[in-house]
Structure 1
Amino acid sequence: MGTYFCGGGSYLHQGNVHYVLSILERASHQQKLYPTTFLPHGIAFDPVNKNRLITTEKKGPGAVAITVSDAEASAQTFQAMPGHHFYGHCVFVQEGERLLTVESELATTEGAIAIRDSLSLDVIGLFPSFGDKPHDCVLTDDGKTLVVSNAGSKEKGSEGAISFIDISTQTLVKQIKVPSPLVNAGHIALGGNGDIALVSAPNDALTEDQEGGVSLGRNDRLTFVSDHLVAGTALEGETLSVVISDKYQLAITCTPRANRLCFWSLPTQSLIKAMKIDGPRGVALADEETALVTYGANSAWVEIDLASLQLKSKTYFSPTYITGSHLYEMPSA
């Protein structure tokens, strides 16, 4: 069995935009495309059925469960709660018995975590995200704690923050504020040593051509490390995707508008290298020694050696059809 990666994308055909979930095998580049009605953003993999995944829309009503197979795939669509939109991400909990979806109330921007039956996908419970405009969600403490990024709302005067929520009691354990008032709280990566990497867009009172950036920390403290210039170029716009290499103590981040793939030292909270690459969007660890990045107008991917931080020869492939925000390794069956 090979190693498969997937992500959402869109392409133009005969004047119409088509949305897909794209799945590729790393070595052979064998590829399958599964049509969707929206641009897939976050993806959660069913721990009970390795062939089943859930993907939700970023700031929209759409979501779908897809069961992939060598034969015909099946799709089960479902909707955000009434008066809400999905805000990008979801995660399975309780050994796959429940699915948590990150949603935002349209009238108030207050964040909500919907508890859904993992098979029917019906809402059976609800608890707050303890912030406005929530987006990313990851698990920690052996799946007992949900970590949610709340972008914040300038209209309401709320700042971005990361909420740590006890799933069993649905209570706030702690909250870490975003260290710069100029950015929101976007995507999160957690390391094995308690490291936290947060990537951000300019807050919603600013324009997209302003700087987003990167915050690094450990446990209860975050430091905004991308204050102004990175290798002579500002991290203009949203810093989109992030992954942590525990072996090399690195955070790897993508800033597509600035055409920068950046490598940050977690121990020193400093920039190691800013690689110029056309519109990097998704990044994932292929193994302990290698990262994969999706980028560019041709929806390409390429591998990066983490020891040298150099592109690996003969690993370029295009088109992946992965033009969305993330790249995920699929669990082995």
Structure 2
Amino acid sequence: MLSASRPAGCSNCSVDRSRKFSACRWDSTAMTAIDRRAFLTASAASCAAWGLCLPRAVLAAESRCFVSACSDEDGNTLARVVTGDGRLLATLPLPERGHGAARRPGQREVVVFARRPGRFALAFDPLSAEPLRRFDAAAGRHFYGHGAFSPDGRWLFACENDYDNARGCIGVYDATVGYRREAELESHAIGPHEIVLLSDGRTLVVANGGIQTHPQAGRRKLNIDSMQPSLAYIDAASGALLHDHRLPAEMHQASIRHIAATANDVIGVAMQYEGPRNNLVPLVGFQHAEAEIVLPPSDAATLRSLQQYCGGAAMDASGQVLAASAPRGGNITFWSVARQCHLGSLALADGCGVAASGAPGGFLASSGYGRLVHHNALSGETTRLDDPAAAPVAWDNHLLALTL
């Protein structure tokens, strides 16, 4: 629930925390996999009579939409597009489990990436769900699940693993010729997970998680004792390393995994801790230009609520609030960008996907138990969204906001 108390070190925060949100914890974080399947099956039975999909004509009044990978009760892997109030617009089958997605500027086109260690990427029309082009990572590479486009929509920069050489790289794809792979840039560390392009249209910022993996080892992490995460600023044209930001030595097991940027290039950072389970470490930070990464002070209760794992990061439309999800802890946390302090948290079991909803402080959040929730971190208002016409799904880790 949102805390009614003012977080330590945040005496200037003005968010109203008087309203309680215990009713927002609709699912227990202790729900088992069997319970989750049962939930999807029961939900499917209850809504079967409603049909499958909202007519696309509704988009005339619904321009802001959201894309997420997901899976249905039969284990089918999908990508779905929903409106801002949670109604289903389109569903696209995926060859394997998806992860993140990127919008191509100037086109009605989205690319969804495979989850590590998957190798597929699929471009599609988010309104019709028509597949436009599938392309795969190069030999000896796999995707990490995230990418970013150049402002003109031509170049796609995708986070990849050169796994035989334990080297992170950025694949560069030309969308105008069927996403042909034209170049490769160094990520300048191991494990590039998420990537954003800054407002200059030339500088890439890469969250290098620092964790070595190999497809032959499945999802096992191979270098936890020696991992060195980084936040790398890279020239998109030359591949040159512009700035390299590292955490203090005692924080080297905090994997920098997810990032989000404001319009003026403040970077929000969300991390996953691979050290001893009894350690309480800050996992949310901010960074700007050449300055070091700042980790806002947090009380012990807030740190415990993260369960050493942040699953996603997003900035609100105004650039005032960073949302960092903590699915293992069953919370979405909110942080002031200007004051760099914790504003409060929304309880949402297995809540991981988060994206700006359009209004200042507003976010759409999704969960692995099929929930979609709109929450405003500035007003404290929360709305659960349901579409009785849509078959239930388990939402995957990330939401992409787009305007059609």
Fold equivalence (TM over 0.5): yes
Aligned twin of 1:270: 341
More moved, 219-228 vs 270-279: 219-228
Percent sequence identity over aligned pairs: 20
Cα distance change of structure 1 residues 320 and 100 upon mapping to structure 2, 3 Å threshold: farther
Question: Aligned partners of 1:292, 1:129: CA distance in 2, in Å?
Answer: 30
Q: What's the CA shift for 1:317?
A: 5.0
Q: Distance in 1 between matches of 2:303 and 2:157?
A: 41
> Compared with structure 1, are the counterparts of its residues 172 and 156 closer, same or farther at alpha carbon in structure 2 (3 Å cutoff)?
farther
Partner of 1:128: 186
Secondary structure at the counterpart of residue 107 of structure 1: helix
Match of 1:188 in 2: 259
Aligned to 1:10: 71
Instruction: Determine the C-alpha separation between the residues in 2 that align with 1:190 and 1:232.
Output: 23
Say yes or no: does 1:56 pair with 2:113.
yes
Which residue in 2 is equivalent to 1:47? 105
Letter in structure 2 aligned against 1:325: N
Contact 1:89–1:102 under 8 Å retained in 2: yes
Tell me if 1:305 matches 2:363. no
Q: Which amino acid aligns with 1:106?
A: Y
Aligned pair partner of 2:195 in 129, 137, 140: 137
Deviates more, 1:207-216 or 1:3-12: 207-216
The residue aligned with 1:177 is 246
CA distance in 1, matches of 2:224, 2:302: 34
Give secondary structure in 2 for the equivalent of 1:230. helix
Tell me: CA distance 1:246–1:32, structure 2 relative to 1, closer, same or farther (3 Å): closer
1:1-333 correspondence to structure 2 within 5 Å: 1=60, 2=62, 3-13=64-74, 17-27=75-85, 29-50=87-108, 52-59=109-116, 60-70=118-128, 73-93=130-150, 95-118=152-175, 119-153=177-211, 154=223, 157-179=226-248, 180-203=251-274, 213-219=283-289, 220-225=291-296, 229-231=300-302, 233-245=304-316, 247=318, 249-289=320-360, 290-297=362-369, 299-312=370-383, 315-317=385-387, 321=393, 323-332=395-404
| Counterpart residue type for residue 189 of structure 2 | G
- 1:238 Cα deviation from its structure 2 partner: 2.1
For structure 1, the 5+ residue unaligned runs are none
Query: What is the CA distance between 1:194 and its match in structure 2?
Result: 3.9
**Counterpart secondary structure, 1:132:** coil
Q: Is the 2:86–2:386 Cα contact (8 Å) retained in structure 1?
A: no
Q: By percentage of residues, which structure has more strand?
A: 1
- CA gap 1:209/1:304 in 2 versus in 1, 3 angstroms: same
How far apart, in 1, do the equivalents of 2:156 and 2:208 lie?
19
Contact 1:138 1:188 in 2 (8 A): yes
Greater shift, 90-99 or 217-226, is seen at: 217-226
Separation in structure 2 between the aligned mates of residue 245 and residue 330 of structure 1, nearest angstrom? 13
Distance apart, 1:211 and its partner CA: 6.7
Relative contact order, higher structure (CA 8 A, sep 6+): 2
Higher Cα Rg: structure 1 or 2? 2
Quote the Cα distance in structure 1 between the aligned partners of 2:385 and 2:179. 38
Structure 1 residues 168 and 291: alpha-carbon distance in aligned structure 2, compared to 1, 3 A threshold: same
**Amino acid of the structure 2 residue aligned with 1:136:** E
SS of 1:288's partner is: coil
SS in 1 for 2:311: coil
Taking a change above 3 Å as real, the CA distance of residues 212 and 106 of structure 1, as seen in their structure-2 partners, is farther
Q: Hey, which of these two has a bigger chunk of helix by percent?
A: 2
Deviates more, 1:128-137 or 1:139-148: 139-148
Three-state SS of the structure 1 residue aligned to 2:403 is: coil
Where do 5+ consecutive residues of structure 2 fail to align? Answer: 1-59, 212-222
Question: Relative to structure 2, which stretch is displaced further, 214-223 or 84-93?
Answer: 214-223
What one-letter code is carried by the residue in structure 1 that aligns with 2:237? S
How many residues are matched? 324
How has the CA–CA distance of structure 1 residues 23 and 196 changed in structure 2, closer, same or farther, with 3 Å as cutoff? same
- Give the whole-Å Cα distance in 1 for the aligned partners of 2:225 and 2:281: 22
User: Aligned AA for 1:114?
Assistant: G
Instruction: Check whether the contact 2:282–2:296 (CA below 8 A) recurs between aligned residues.
Output: no
**CA distances 1:16-45 after superposition (whole Å, capped 9, x unpaired):** x21000011224713321000122212112
Shift in Å at residue 327 of structure 1? Answer: 0.9
* Aligned-partner Cα distance in 2 for 1:41–1:323: 10
Classify 1:151/1:260 alpha carbon distance in 2 versus 1 (closer, same or farther; 3 Å): same
- Normalised by the size of structure 1, how large is the TM-score? 0.87
Q: Which moved more, 1:191-200 or 1:315-324?
A: 315-324
Q: Which residue of 1 aligns with 2:15?
A: none
